[in-house]
Amino acid sequence: MTKSNTEFTNLSDSGVNPNFDLAINKRYNLDKVFAIATWVATSFALLVLVILLIDVLTDGLGRLNWSFVTSFSSRRASSAGVLAPLVGTIWLLVITALISFPLGVGAGIFLEEYATDNWFTRLIEINIANLAAVPSIIYGLLGLQVFVRVMEPITRGRSILAGALTLSLLILPIIIITTRESLRAVPDSLRQAGFALGANRWQIIREQIFPIALPGILTGTILSLSRAIGETAPLIVVGAVGFITFLPQLSFKGLQSSFTALPIQIFDWVSRPQVEFHQNAAAGIVVLMIVLMLMNSTAIFLRNKFQQSR
Amino acid sequence: MTSNPLSNQPSNSKLWQPNRALSKSVETGVKTLFALFAFVSVITTIGIVLTLIFETVEFFQEVSIWRFLTDTQWTPLFTNQQFGIMVLISATLLTSVIAIAVALPLGLLAAICLSEYAPAKLRKWLKPALEVLAGVPTVVFGYFALFTVTPFLQTFIPGMQGFNALSAGLVLGVSIIPLVASLSEDALYSVPRSLREGAYALGSTKRETIISVVLPAALSGIVASFILAISRAIGETMILTIAAGQNPQLGFNPLVPIQTMTAYIVQVSKGDTPAGSLAYKTIFAVGMTLFLITLTLNIFSYWFVRRFREKYE
């Protein structure tokens, strides 16, 4: 009884409930601390990126010259170069794109334009979401067993083809997801206009929807390809080698030859004890980053062009 | 749509006649083909599961599951073979915990910064910049951890070895910050303005609004991004192979070389292990363990998001 009495008096004295402490200055100070913390977190991530780039550049630029790009791997660090891995990366890039683009875009079109909500589409959707979270090295194990061993008569074992097939499966879920997003962004009125003219669904997709969605699809595909190019683990499992001194022939036979790629070569050099090879690794990283940046700027260019035209 | 008055016209008509039969069969053909393409993803999953199960079963015919789970050493490549998967799991756990301790708070704070504090113009620059960080290949992060972060940490942590879990874990954490930041930011950004304004109207400050209204409202999306980050940390390979070492050892000391599940798979793949040998089968058994862990996380995330998703009109 007395307690409630004092509460009542306090309340009447100050006009506010004593259990309610406004403390506005303290709260604003906490606000400032919190805001600063979020900025620090953001700048930290970017700072690490900057340090990483500067670090790699200072280590690698001294080693980087034209002969580094045009020489094969060598046991002597000073005469080793990245020709074979660079060409191998480009091979992987092209073949992976040729396989994964039609597959991913087709699957995306089916799921977004044709599929109704039934068990089959739901199965595929859950499945794609799951696949996107499977560690890439597991894809390597899949590639090792299926493309290297089971399909040996076609791929000739640890070959460029087996590597590219593995990478294709790896990025397929991403391409499907971006294709669906691009298609979803196309207004429905266009489809209805097509139907009103008597076109069937495929004609509408081919003539109207797909051309509009294409820049978005290409952007997503290039970004996922640039991820594939940076992948190392699945290719090591499939059987990429760190020491190759030839270029694959421009034929199906060439597809069946053993292969290497920039990240593989970098890993190979990093794992050696000599410091000179570590310098080579840094220079290789610079080359890899340049390839990635070229791809990413193409994607950004496409995205900007696409956004302006709408 | 299929009923077609034009098709009853006499064939000598000058009117344009669409080839309905052809376009219809093309339509069916395309639809079937694309459905098959979509089915490739299901085949991939089946392929992964069959691949792992097939070799794992063969592995467990030679090594009992009990030994696999209880041995305290992992030496499949030596003559005295021991198969204690816990050794690799403890290492994976250690690096993942370090990485997550870095990535979750920093990633979430960065997401809050992007979504709530950064002006629209700056946000337009910050997001792509974070995407650049996300696009750096992991082999580069590995190089960075081994040759920059480790020597830097060694200057004030005595007894730290050249290969260690700490710097690998820290760099791994930095590498997944963009993933957490970007996905959480999407979740925060989609919380409707009216909720924030409601909180302001009740007298909350900006921080109080964010912590007690916006974060809970975006919880399902944030947790989904966390779980994806955890499963990325567990499955990450190159940073750990390069910077954490190849030394299977039970324990949680972050300053000594260790070997994670993924690093072991790389180690065996790099050597000349003949297909069909016991060592060859171990990488599938380890892969199966890894797959089951990430699958469990995935299923949990799927359940959580469905259970706690907030829907706003």
Q: Do A83 and A300 touch, CB atoms closer than 8 A?
A: no
Residue B127 tokens, joined? 């997001």
Longest CA span, chain B: 95
If you count residue pairs, one on A and one on B, with CB atoms under 8 Å apart, how many are there?
A: 256
Least Cα distance to B141 among A232, A91, A106 occurs for A232
Q: Do B127 and B113 touch, CB atoms closer than 8 A?
A: no
In the prediction, which pLDDT does A100 show? 92
Question: Which pLDDT band, with edges at 50, 70 and 90, does B229 fall under?
Answer: very high
Task: Assign 3-class secondary structure to chain B.
Answer: CCCCHHHHCCCCCCCCCCCHHHHHHHHHHHHHHHHHHHHHHHHHHHHHHHHHHHHHHHHHHHCCHHHHHHCCCECCCCCCCCECHHHHHHHHHHHHHHHHHHHHHHHHHHHHHHHHHCCHHHHHHHHHHHHHHHHCCHHHHHHHHHHHHHHHHHCCCCCCCCCCHHHHHHHHHHHHHHHHHHHHHHHHHCCCHHHHHHHHHCCCCHHHHHHHHHHHHCHHHHHHHHHHHHHHHHHCCHHHHHHCCCCCCCCCCCCCCCCCHHHHHHHHHHCCCCCCCHHHHHHHHHHHHHHHHHHHHHHHHHHHHHHHCCCCC
- Report the range out of A3-17, A112-126, A250-264 with the highest average pLDDT: A112-126
Taking 70 as the threshold, does the pLDDT of residue A2 lie above it?
no
Q: Say yes or no: B136 contacts chain A, CB-CB below 8 A.
A: yes
Q: Say yes or no: A230 contacts chain B, CB-CB below 8 A.
A: yes
Given an 8 Å threshold on Cβ–Cβ distance, is B44 in contact with A169? yes
Cα(B261)–Cα(B288) distance, rounded to whole angstroms?
Answer: 10
Percentages (nearest 5) of helix, strand, coil residues in chain A: 75, 0, 25
Taking 80 as the threshold, does the pLDDT of residue A125 lie above it?
yes
Q: Which residues, 6+ apart, have CB-to-CB distance to B146 below 8 Å?
A: A270, B162, B163, B167, B242, B243
Cα(B183)–Cα(B56) distance, rounded to whole angstroms?
Answer: 35
Q: Say yes or no: A185 contacts chain B, CB-CB below 8 A.
A: no
Beta bridge partners of B74: B83
Question: Which pLDDT band, with edges at 50, 70 and 90, does A309 fall under?
Answer: low
Cα(A107)–Cα(B30) distance, rounded to whole angstroms?
Answer: 11
Percent of chain A with pLDDT over 90: 13
In the prediction, which pLDDT does A3 show? 47
CA-nearest residue to A197 within chain B is: B1
What is the ipTM metric for this complex? 0.84
Q: Say yes or no: A201 contacts chain B, CB-CB below 8 A.
A: yes
Taking 80 as the threshold, does the pLDDT of residue B79 lie above it?
no
CA-nearest residue to B206 within chain A is: A31
Taking 90 as the threshold, does the pLDDT of residue B108 lie above it?
yes
Residue A63 tokens, joined? 């080693």
Average pLDDT for chain A: 82
Taking 90 as the threshold, does the pLDDT of residue B97 lie above it?
yes
- Residues B202-225: tens digit of each pLDDT: 988 889 999 999 999 898 889 989
The region that residue B16 occupies, defined by phi over 0 for left and psi between -120 and 50 for alpha, beta otherwise, is beta
Residue A183 tokens, joined? 């298609």
Percent of chain A with pLDDT over 70: 87
Rounded mean pLDDT, A159-186 = 89
In the prediction, which pLDDT does A106 show? 92
What does the radius of gyration of chain A's CA atoms come to, in whole angstroms? 28
Chain A hits for B102, Cβ within 8 Å: none
Cα(A207)–Cα(A181) distance, rounded to whole angstroms?
Answer: 19
In the prediction, which pLDDT does B280 show? 83
Best of A17, A105, A145 to substitute, by most chain B Cβ atoms within 10 angstroms, is A145
Given an 8 Å threshold on Cβ–Cβ distance, is A146 in contact with B51? yes
Q: Which residues, 6+ apart, have CB-to-CB distance to B55 below 8 Å?
A: A145, B280, B281, B284, B285
- Residues B247-256: tens digit of each pLDDT: 887 777 888 8
For chain A, count helices (H), then strands (E).
15, 0
Q: Do B145 and B239 touch, CB atoms closer than 8 A?
A: yes
Q: Measured between CA atoms, how close is A116 to chain B, in angstroms?
A: 12
In the prediction, which pLDDT does B12 show? 58
Taking 60 as the threshold, does the pLDDT of residue A8 lie above it?
no
In the prediction, which pLDDT does B1 show? 47
Given an 8 Å threshold on Cβ–Cβ distance, is A135 in contact with B48? no
Rounded mean pLDDT, B146-163 = 85
Cα(B132)–Cα(A226) distance, rounded to whole angstroms?
Answer: 11
Given an 8 Å threshold on Cβ–Cβ distance, is B269 in contact with A172? no
Given an 8 Å threshold on Cβ–Cβ distance, is B142 in contact with A267? yes
CB nearest to A133's CB, from B140, B284, B294: B294
Taking 50 as the threshold, does the pLDDT of residue A190 lie above it?
yes
In the prediction, which pLDDT does B11 show? 55
Taking 70 as the threshold, does the pLDDT of residue A5 lie above it?
no
Given an 8 Å threshold on Cβ–Cβ distance, is B265 in contact with A141? yes
pTM above 0.90, yes or no: no
Q: Say yes or no: B216 contacts chain A, CB-CB below 8 A.
A: no
Taking 60 as the threshold, does the pLDDT of residue B110 lie above it?
yes
Query: What is the 8-class DSSP label of residue A78?
Result: G
The region that residue B241 occupies, defined by phi over 0 for left and psi between -120 and 50 for alpha, beta otherwise, is alpha
Q: Say yes or no: B21 contacts chain A, CB-CB below 8 A.
A: no
Rounded mean pLDDT, A127-133 = 85
Q: Measured between CA atoms, how close is A290 to chain B, in angstroms?
A: 11
Q: Do A146 and B51 touch, CB atoms closer than 8 A?
A: yes
Given an 8 Å threshold on Cβ–Cβ distance, is A201 in contact with B27? yes
